[in-house]
Amino acid sequence: MSELDYAGWVARALAFADRLAALDGVVIGHSVADPPLAREVLDRVEADLRRPLPASLRRFYERGAGGLECSYSYEPAAPAQRRLQAVLPDEERIFGGARVCRAADLADAARSVAEWARDTWVADEPEERDLWEGALPFASLNNGDYLALDLRGGGTEPPVVYLAHDDESAGLPPLAPHFTSFLSAWERLCYIGPEHWLLDEFRGPDGALDSDSTRAARLRELLGVA
């Protein structure tokens, strides 16, 4: 697996939001990156989590940003509305933005996921509970869902999974085989979502995000990305 330039990825995510602001119908919410974190700070994060961070996530915090929050929404008028529906026929508005939660918030997010697994319907579904209990969330979504790393396999580069708080997640294939491949694919998908009803439209035959599809190319054209 080739090394990702995390600082470059963060810079491009922020620049994307800046460029997108020029489109009619776009509203930019947040566009904030925290400074990268020192090794000793991440050591304390791991102590709070009571587990080591997966290698690529730790490198993101050390070399890219201590946390990243970008958001946009796009509700175009005609004729761009017709171009949007050529990409996503059921949508009149899309939204997205790169996000990786602050390293300092990882432990709280992990506790929230564990509580959901223990105290809600997930507790009565063995496969769901196994997935939730074995996951490390790295992005909390506004609707109560999470992007997470599936730590159950024990590898140094776990796959990225989607945790839906009100629907089954265990049967879904990973969004990407590891964190860096997710970041690369998500960038080429214009950081759409990451709510599942948007991401799911860009899954390939194996269930992973496919940023080389015709639909993905049309999305980039719609949003002015070469």
DSSP for 61-75 reads IIII-SEEEEEEEE-
pLDDT in tens, 55-96: 999 999 999 999 999 999 999 988 889 999 999 999 999 999
Cα-Cα end-to-end distance for the chain:
25
Supply the pLDDT for residue 208: 97
> Does residue 128 lie within any of the structural domains?
yes
> Does residue 29 lie within any of the structural domains?
yes
> Does residue 112 lie within any of the structural domains?
yes
Give the pLDDT band (50/70/90) at residue 125: very high
Supply the pLDDT for residue 220: 96
Supply the pLDDT for residue 3: 83
CA distance 62 to 59: 5
pLDDT in tens, 169-187: 988 899 999 999 999 999 9
CATH number, domain containing residue 52: 3.40.1580.10
> Does residue 178 lie within any of the structural domains?
yes
CA distance 175 to 147: 9
pLDDT in tens, 21-36: 999 999 999 899 999 9
Q: What is the mean pLDDT of residues 104-117?
A: 96
Supply the pLDDT for residue 191: 98
> Does residue 1 lie within any of the structural domains?
no
Supply the pLDDT for residue 37: 98
Containing structural domain, residue 125: 6-222
- pLDDT at 226 > cutoff 80: no
Give the pLDDT band (50/70/90) at residue 16: very high
Residue 81 burial class via C-beta count within 10 angstroms: exposed 0-12, middle 13-18, buried 19 and up: middle
Please, how many CA atoms are within 13 Å of residue 163, restricted to the half-sphere of its CB? 33
Structure tokens at 223: 């949003």
**% of the chain beyond a pLDDT of 90:** 90
> Does residue 79 lie within any of the structural domains?
yes
Q: Minimal CA–CA distance to 57: which of 149, 141, 187, 151?
A: 149
Whether the full predicted model's pTM is greater than 0.85, yes or no, is yes
Residues contacting 8, CB < 8 A, separation 6+: none
CA distance 188 to 185: 5
CA distance 103 to 14: 19
Question: Considering its fold, how many domains does the chain have in total?
Answer: 1
Question: Alpha helices of 106-226 — where are they, by DSSP H?
Answer: 106-119, 126-133, 179-188, 196-199, 214-222
Supply the pLDDT for residue 182: 98
Give the pLDDT band (50/70/90) at residue 1: low
- pLDDT at 107 > cutoff 70: yes
> Does residue 141 lie within any of the structural domains?
yes
- pLDDT at 2 > cutoff 70: no
Give the pLDDT band (50/70/90) at residue 124: very high
> Does residue 93 lie within any of the structural domains?
yes
